[in-house]
Amino acid sequence: MAAIKKILVANRGEIALRVMRSAREMGIKTVAVFSDADRAMPFVRYADEAIHIGASPSSQSYLVAEKIIDAAKKTKADAIHPGYGFLSENESFAGKVKKAGIIFIGPNAKSIRMMGNKLSAKEIAKKLKVPLVPGTEKAVSDVKQALKEAKRIGYPVLLKAAAGGGGKGMRVVNKEPELHSQMERAQSEALSSFGDDSVFIEKYISSPRHIEIQILADEHGNVVHLFERECSIQRRHQKLIEEAPSAVMTESLREKMGECAVAVAKACNYTSAGTVEFLVDEMLDFYFLEMNTRLQVEHPVTEMITGIDLVKEQIRIAQGEKLSFKQEDLKIRGHAIELRVNAEDPSNDFLPNVGFLKTYRKPCGAGVRVDDGYEEGMNIPIYYDPMIAKLITHGRDRDEAMCRMTRAIEEYHITGMKTTLPFGSFMMSHREFRKGNLSTRFIDQYFSPEKLLSNDKNEEQVAALIAAWMVQNNNHHKNVNAKPAFANASAGKPETVKSRWKQNRLNFEL
């Protein structure tokens, strides 16, 4: 297959920029497509060419396959990279791209279909003897049948949209009287989000870890896994903090889960980058959850610990190249953590808080990476996901990665809206998080808005202490015998800003 010369990126924001940067390093031209709301976005300016594809709602722009394919034809792009979200896991889109004679940088339509539906994916996993959470093997639409299956499995159970993801069409049912109403809600949301109201039922594991395995597969039958990512810190079934590797992973468990992920990929003749997701219980028993047939939002943590650019690998695979490395060549180097910096208010149930980026100054320094798509003075539009950026830190071990994340959060200045940065600070100082005691229920168990308000008050006290210290320092030359402004009278010794700050940081560890 001939080398790709021009890639149209069928996405927006930070992932569009991220793909374009890797393409530029490879000497490949890029094309941006944009909606009305994104006309002035950095990714539009960064691309070599840009094509307007419609109004701001994604249903009139980024989700219209024909407009995207037409833009590729007009600009003579020979490949399309879908990023994540939007049409990235749409088998019809992948098929149309191929039919138009354009390379789709991702898996083929058949693989997307096989793994895109959770029921068919579970059937493949079952044949491979990959451990599964007990549940129904077929979609359930009748309430009587659902009641029967739930009783067989045992409460609590989880209702999940067969064709969906991202927490949509998902409901926990703790007891029988709740099932009817929760099933109606799950089906309605599934139909609205995915055009398919089929749901299935599985046993609800109350406090699992969400651990996923990154895979790469070429067209020559070579498949490798690039270790695991811990994605347990979630709200409303959507991830907020991810890290690699997992703090609880053993070499034996990593090998078993990696082998299962590779087997699942081979079973559907998978190519490109993909992720096989698992639930891991308190006994470290793991169960197949699903496969995401695209690049993941959290892919940077894998890149940081392996040194491999996953987007470049996707492009090379799409060109028909073989993987240039084998499983035994891959090594884990240090630890990486990612915080999703969302325009959300953690003190108000993480509800979207989009608005105007009055101040936007990002951190830098050793071990810090920021994947973002906005600039100071821009609006965060209401039409799309409220993610502003991904803040990633890397260190020689987990402690150093957490320390760098704490420092990076402190350096990250955003005003004009609420963000998840204070939540990230809370997490980095929380005892259980620092110990690596994580589960998908972590936020429910340990976080509340009052915790952030407490942090704010402590930080205000520290700011006042620093101001007092600065005043005292300035006056020192005028009166060398002056006592510190915040001397501890009872102890007879000055209480330094550093010691008070240390105490306040301890107060954060709730």
pLDDT at 290: 93
pLDDT at 482: 44
User: Whole domain around residue 52: which residue ranges?
Assistant: 6-105
pLDDT at 237: 85
Dist. CA 299–CA 311, nearest whole Å: 9
Asked whether residue 179 falls in the same domain as residue 128, the answer is no
Report if residue 69 sits inside a domain.
yes
pLDDT at 469: 55
333 given a catalytic annotation = no
Asked whether residue 346 falls in the same domain as residue 273, the answer is no
Report if residue 446 sits inside a domain.
no
Dist. CA 378–CA 139, nearest whole Å: 44
Q: How many domains is the chain partitioned into structurally?
A: 5
Contact between 82 and 76 (Cβ < 8 Å)? no
Give the containing element (helix H, strand E) for 30: strand 29-35
Model confidence pLDDT, tens digit, residues 27-52? 999 999 999 999 999 999 999 999 99
- Identified catalytic residue from 294, 316, 340, 404: 294
The DSSP symbol for 507 reads: H
CATH of the domain at 354: 3.30.470.20
Asked whether residue 485 falls in the same domain as residue 385, the answer is no
Give the containing element (helix H, strand E) for 179: helix 179-194
pLDDT at 141: 82
pLDDT at 117: 82
Asked whether residue 127 falls in the same domain as residue 252, the answer is yes
Task: Give every residue of the chain whose pLDDT is below 70, as ranges.
Answer: 164-167, 453-510
Asked whether residue 242 falls in the same domain as residue 368, the answer is no
pLDDT at 459: 52
pLDDT at 493: 39
307 Rama class: left (phi>0) / alpha (psi -120 to 50) / beta: left
Contact between 200 and 186 (Cβ < 8 Å)? no
CATH of the domain at 79: 3.40.50.20
Asked whether residue 126 falls in the same domain as residue 94, the answer is no
Dist. CA 175–CA 280, nearest whole Å: 24
pLDDT at 456: 53
Of the three residues 145, 171, 203, the one that is the final residue of a domain is 203
Asked whether residue 45 falls in the same domain as residue 65, the answer is yes
